[in-house]
């Protein structure tokens, strides 16, 4: 049975539709990788104490509304494995990161507007792909060496945020800076 042009059009639409659904704005492969690593690391963050009403429920992952990774995070968080998902909040103002965020992705644009130490003190684990992120008080720095991405962890920043990261994930880190 010969295929008609109509069948080919339907087949083409079916093959390309999932690729278009990944993101509503174009992102670079590097940004997609940052989003994927941040998303997967966030899945292994947990609260140290869960003994009051403010710590019940899913972790809140905050990202600047126009961040290049926001559409990728939105897509990843809409997957079928909802028990591992978190609530994604897209914030317009840097000051909004100081209230209710368990995890904050700190982009190049957001970095000059916030204090990483104050975000940690407000209970937020900070993730960033900025050189010197750990030295500035960040919790998890995404590190690129050559063509590979990895991450480093600052345990003091995690402790200040009253969060922990799975010991299995810590074993995968390029560098773990101990809590003092």
18 domain-assigned:
no
Using alpha carbons only, how large is the chain's radius of gyration in Å? 19
Q: What pLDDT, on a 0 to 100 scale, did the predictor assign at position 151? A: 96
129/92 Cα distance (integer angstroms)? 20
Is 21 domain-assigned? no
CATH of the domain at 84: 3.40.50
Cα dihedral 81→82→84→88 (10° resolution): 130
Percent of the chain whose pLDDT exceeds 70: 78
Residue 71 lies in a domain: yes
d(CA 146, CA 144): 6
Confidence at residue 81, expressed as pLDDT on a 0 to 100 scale: 57
pLDDT band at 22 (very low <50, low <70, confident <90, very high): very low
Task: Please check whether residue 6 lies inside any domain of the structure.
Answer: no
Which of helix, strand or coil describes residue 102?
Answer: coil
In a domain, 166, yes or no: yes
Number of separate domains in the chain: 1
Q: Is residue 13 part of a domain?
A: no
The answer to pTM > 0.85 is: no
Whether residue 15 lies inside any domain: the answer is: no
Q: How far apart are CA 46 and CA 44, in angstroms?
A: 6
Task: Assess if residue 69 is contained within a domain.
Answer: yes
Taking only the tens place, the pLDDT of each residue in 132-173 is 999 999 999 999 988 888 999 999 999 999 999 999 999 999
User: How far is Cα 64 from Cα 128, in angstroms, rounded to an integer?
Assistant: 12
Angle between helices 70-77 and 29-42 (to 10 degrees): 50
Which range marks the domain in which residue 168 is found? 28-175
């Amino acid at each position: 049975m010969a295929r008609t042009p109509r069948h080919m059009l339907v087949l083409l639409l079916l093959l390309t539709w999932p690729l278009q659904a990944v993101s509503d704005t174009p992102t670079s492969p590097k940004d997609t990788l940052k989003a994927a690593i941040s998303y997967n690391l966030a899945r292994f963050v947990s609260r140290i104490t869960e003994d009051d009403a403010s710590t019940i429920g899913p972790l809140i992952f905050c990202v600047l509304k126009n961040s290049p990774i926001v559409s990728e995070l939105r897509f990843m968080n809409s997957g079928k494995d909802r028990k591992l998902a978190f609530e994604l909040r897209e914030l317009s103002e840097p000051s909004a990161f100081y209230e209710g965020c368990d995890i904050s992705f700190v982009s190049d644009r957001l970095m000059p507007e916030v204090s990483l130490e104050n975000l940690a003190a407000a209970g937020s684990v900070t993730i960033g792909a900025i050189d010197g992120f750990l030295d500035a008080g960040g919790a998890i720095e995404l590190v690129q060496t050559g063509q590979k991405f990895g991450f480093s962890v600052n345990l003091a920043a995690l402790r200040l945020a009253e969060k922990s990261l799975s010991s299995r994930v810590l074993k995968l880190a390029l560098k773990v800076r101990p809590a003092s």
